[in-house]
Amino acid sequence: MNRVVASAPQLAGLHPYDPKYLPANAYLSANENPSDVDPDIRAQVDEAVHGIALNRYPDPLANDLRDLIAEANGLDRDWVLMGNGGDELLFDTALAWGGPGRTFLNLPPTFSVYEANARLTNTPVIDIPRLPDTFAIDEPRVLQAVSDPANNITFTIVTSPNNPTGLRARQEFILQLLDATDALVMVDEAYFEFSRETMRPYLEQHENLVILRTFSKAFSLAGVRIGYILAHPSVIREYCKVRQPYSVDAVSQAIACVVFRNRNAFEPAIQQIISERERLLAELRATPGIEPFPSDSNWVLFRMPDADEAWRHLYDRGILVRDFSSAALLEGTLRVTVGTSEQNDAFLSALRDFVLDKERGGSYGRAE
Ligand SMILES: *Cc1c(COP(=O)(O)O)cnc(C)c1O
């Protein structure tokens, strides 16, 4: 036969995830660390990778890595599970806690992967939008929604700091939420190294708390695909039932072990990103027409007139930022990842050119 039956009905209308990555001089669109791992650590990585038997299956649970992370968090290994990036663990969350007749509570605008995973697993979604202007969580509505048995909310994800809006969730609120429901509450801490706040101290008291972390942002390993969750062993066991047994390959395990052992060496770069973030915020605030949102993370979201044209203007000058100008609840916004100070300067000066030209009524932003 030269045709194929339709794919599963929940795929209708879904679009594959598109990071909108384009060739550029300055990649300020994906919240990556602007610096690769330093040469010293890189040499250790090369040595570790050199010794791997490529013909053998990896340790399915990545126990060496798991032990390192468990120890650093004061936990036993059965409280930790590694994944092929945080993204795999997000999908596993929907597989294990979602499904028809169960409900995912989403707090948009937030990471779009959550909703896509719910759809893929035929999980109904209840949206409680964040407050306009501040993007703060509508806390009373969330607490009320999870307390209503008719909603049958079985899991929710609180992103802290929230991507792409920038600020942390209040810990007092997360604790209220954990007490108000037995639904699984994942706290996505992909950027906690920049926000300096974690729910780890509350893990033992809340069986429904899952903390998600990644090596892709502060630890410069977006290309390697390693993430992990911290949760009660009873919860980890359920994740183990749905995960792909060999999703975390041997090379990634070895690289992540080296990087995690050397994690203190990343601290100066993290501090540098935090101080550059504050500089970007201050400079954006001082630019006419630009409304930046405060950030606890490694990017700044800002609203401006003609944001789509500004995106093009920046891109034509080799600077790639993330365009949310026509995304629901984010209209008119762009997100710039904190880069090196040179990249941030190039971004600021190109953006100022655009704004100045607009003020003069010129045509800078138009693609020639
Ligand atoms: C980047 C990111 C992740 C995880 O990314 P991986 O590269 O798959 O580890 C998870 N949540 C949010 C909000 C992110 O921005």
pLDDT tens for 40-65 read 999 999 999 998 999 999 999 999 99
The predicted model gives 194-212 an average pLDDT of 98
Ligand 1 neighbours, Cβ below 6 Å, are 31, 85-87, 111, 159, 163, 188, 190, 214, 216-217, 222, 227
pLDDT band at 368 (very low <50, low <70, confident <90, very high): very low
pLDDT tens for 135-156 read 999 999 999 999 999 999 999 9
Per the DSSP assignment, residues forming a β-bridge with 145 are none
Which residues are within 8 A (CB) of 36 and not within 5 positions of it... i.e. 6 or more apart? 42, 220
Cα of 87 from ligand 1 centre, angstroms: 6
The pLDDT of residue 190 is above 80 = yes
**Which residues in 137-158 are b (16+ Cβ under 10 Å) and which e?**
bebeebbebbeeeebebbbbbb
- Report the DSSP pairing between strands 153-159 and 184-188: parallel
The predicted model gives 337-358 an average pLDDT of 97
CA distance 182 to 207: 8
The pLDDT of residue 364 is above 60 = no
The predicted pLDDT at position 277 comes to 98
Cα of 188 from ligand 1 centre, angstroms: 8
CA distance 19 to 17: 6
The predicted pLDDT at position 231 comes to 98
pLDDT tens for 224-255 read 999 999 999 999 999 999 999 999 999 999 99
The predicted model gives 67-79 an average pLDDT of 98
pLDDT band at 366 (very low <50, low <70, confident <90, very high): very low
| Ligand 1, atom 4: closest residue by C-alpha | 86
Q: Is the Cβ–Cβ distance between 96 and 231 less than 8 Å?
A: no
The pLDDT of residue 363 is above 60 = no
Quick one: residue 21, left, alpha or beta (phi over 0 = left, psi -120 to 50 = alpha)? beta
CA distance 340 to 26: 9
Distance from the first to the final alpha carbon of the chain:
49
CA-angle at 210, arms to 209 and 215, nearest 5°: 150
**Mean pLDDT across the chain:** 96
Q: Is the Cβ–Cβ distance between 171 and 196 less than 8 Å?
A: no
Q: Is the Cβ–Cβ distance between 20 and 204 less than 8 Å?
A: no
CA distance 334 to 284: 12
Backbone torsions φ then ψ of 273, nearest 5 degrees? -65, -40
The predicted model gives 288-317 an average pLDDT of 97
How far is it between the farthest Cα atoms of the chain?
A: 65
Q: Is the Cβ–Cβ distance between 292 and 344 less than 8 Å?
A: no
The predicted pLDDT at position 19 comes to 82
Q: Is the Cβ–Cβ distance between 30 and 222 less than 8 Å?
A: yes
| Ligand 1, atom 2: closest residue by C-alpha | 190
Lowest-pLDDT choice from 9-23, 27-41, 72-86, 206-220: 9-23
The pLDDT of residue 276 is above 80 = yes
- Report the DSSP pairing between strands 227-230 and 184-188: unpaired
The pLDDT of residue 21 is above 80 = yes
The pLDDT of residue 346 is above 60 = yes
Residue 166 DSSP SS3: coil
The pLDDT of residue 365 is above 50 = no
The predicted pLDDT at position 115 comes to 96
The pLDDT of residue 112 is above 50 = yes
Q: What percent of the chain has pLDDT over 90?
A: 93
More confident call, 368 vs 285 = 285
Q: Could you give the angle at which helices 233-242 and 85-97 cross, rounded to 10 degrees?
A: 100
CA distance 63 to 52: 15
Instruction: Indicate the top mutation candidate among 17, 212, 217 to test ligand 1's pocket, ranked by most ligand atoms within 8 A of CB.
Output: 217
